[in-house]
């Protein structure tokens, strides 16, 4: 009888240990799966934008280019870019609640004075939140505009490098943010100590999150 009770006790302890280990592993596993999903959505969005920009370049008229160059403000130029993109992404103005804020990976909030702050947001046909910003470039070698994609929509975390990514659009190419940075800078920025901006490119080339 004593041996039977001892066996039951051992069995119970083993079960509790297994349950404890599973509870410890589960949050990590769930978070990894969620991040993998965000990265997959970002790769799809990036591939689509490469195609969209290529099509727009092939069909843009001289009058449209002239109107863009003659626009006096960044806001006017952004509206022209929006008009070009709208048929392909089905962009519609997003009425977002005050609670919606975009943050960097290091937990700092993106503020109105930042280069990566977007005044207006739009919903895409896939439920993403999209930002467009003209850069008022001074030469043809500089980028024309940047775009932000919150692949998770209004749902959290709304954080660069987690569910928020971006592209830089030049006259002749589209690049992910971070593509022109030294390789050693990518994992530094794509970490809890960084802003998460360069994750946009880092994940496209197979990089992994640095804790």
71-121 confidence digits (pLDDT tens): 989 899 999 999 999 999 999 999 899 889 999 999 999 999 899 999 999
Number of H helices, E strands in the chain: 5, 6
* pTM recorded for the entire structure: 0.83
**Interval 182-187 mean pLDDT:** 95
Q: What is the number of other CB atoms lying within 10 angstroms of the CB of residue 151?
A: 24
Average pLDDT, the chain: 87
Non-local CB neighbours of 43 within 8 Å, separated by 6+ positions = 203, 204
Q: What is the pLDDT of residues 141-151, one digit of tens each?
A: 899 999 999 99
pLDDT for the residue 29: 56
Q: How many residues does the chain have?
A: 211
Comparing CA positions, the residue from 45, 82, 50, 52 lying closest to residue 175 is: 50
**Interval 171-186 mean pLDDT:** 94
């Amino acid at each position: 009888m004593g041996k039977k009770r001892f066996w039951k006790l051992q069995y119970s302890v083993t079960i509790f240990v297994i349950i404890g280990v599973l509870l410890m592993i589960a949050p990590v596993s769930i978070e990894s799966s969620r991040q993998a999903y965000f990265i997959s959505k970002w790769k799809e969005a990036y591939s689509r934008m490469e195609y969209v920009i290529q099509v727009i370049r092939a069909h843009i008229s001289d009058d449209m280019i002239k109107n863009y160059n003659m626009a006096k403000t960044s806001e006017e130029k952004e509206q022209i870019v929006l008009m070009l993109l709208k048929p392909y992404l089905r962009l519609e103005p997003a009425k977002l609640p005050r609670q919606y804020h975009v943050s960097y990976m290091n937990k700092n909030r993106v503020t109105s004075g930042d280069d990566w702050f977007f005044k207006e947001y739009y919903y895409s046909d896939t439920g993403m939140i999209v930002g467009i910003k003209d850069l008022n470039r001074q030469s043809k070698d500089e980028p024309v505009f940047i775009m932000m994609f919150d692949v998770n929509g209004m749902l959290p975390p709304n954080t660069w490098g987690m569910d928020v990514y971006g592209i830089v659009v030049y006259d002749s190419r589209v690049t992910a943010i971070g593509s022109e940075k030294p390789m050693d800078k990518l994992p530094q920025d794509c970490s809890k100590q960084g802003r998460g901006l360069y994750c946009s490119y880092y994940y496209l080339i197979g990089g992994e999150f640095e804790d």
